Structure 1
């Protein structure tokens, strides 16, 4: 296996773990998560909560495994930008600015996966070789 494929897998794993851990924490505290969503002024906290769990857990696992990685990473990238805008937009607050910029950096990594795919060490790579 090439160094490029190993680096792609490592990059996917590091990005995916953020979303898997965040999704798992939402599953562990649904009421608190919905209250936080409502406090940000977003409508339909239950629906927003369910979307967040599906995107973070489902998308995170798909990215980790490299399964439909291009579309999964694009969906998670859109979610990450939305989270930055809705939850970290008080850029006068240094902490919020850091979180906003972190989300943009993560989005950049996700867009790299969307642009170049998961690499050979992935389910997408395995399916490509099996054809």
Structure 2
């Protein structure tokens, strides 16, 4: 089971690590997009969210307080779904469908992050192949 959890952690974390790196490496483009979407203080929000993604992704990947890492990812995903992908505001059918797909993806990943939080916090130190145990206990 330890190996399956490790593989799952790797696959889950890769998405967030790539996105976090993109937030920092392509900051100017990401800030422009965030401003277009109406994100307040986009010039600060983009790099801050990149750091949040990298911290959460690395935490899950390495198993260093992975429960906290999943909460960081949840803290990114839920507001991102609501602010960046408000499909209900779109009038064009194609744009509405695209935003709905992204909204649903973010909501599903937020749900997965919460489940992983509960998994890590409940399992405690019994889960192998992590560098630390959880920060929280359920």
The TM-score with structure 2 as length reference comes to 0.81
Partners of 1:42 and 1:76 lie apart in 2 by 18
Q: Is there any run of 5+ residues in structure 1 with no aligned partner, and where?
A: 126-131
Deviations 1:68-112 (A, max 9, x none): 111111121121111111111114611111111111111122112
- The within-5 A match list for 1:109-120 is 109-117=112-120, 119-120=127-128
Q: Does 1:124 align with 2:127?
A: no
Say whether the 8 Å CA contact 1:15–1:109 is kept in structure 2.
Answer: no
Cα deviations by residue, 1:19-67 (Å, 9 ceiling, x for unpaired): 1011111222111111111111121112101211111112111111111
Higher relative contact order (CA 8 A, sep 6+): 1
CA contact (8 A) 1:15 1:106 kept: no
Write out the 4+ residue segments of structure 1 that deviate beyond 6 Å after TM superposition. none
SS in 2 for 1:120: coil
> Which stretches in structure 2 are left out of the alignment for 5+ residues?
91-95, 134-138
Q: Does 1:104 align with 2:107?
A: yes
Aligned residues: 122
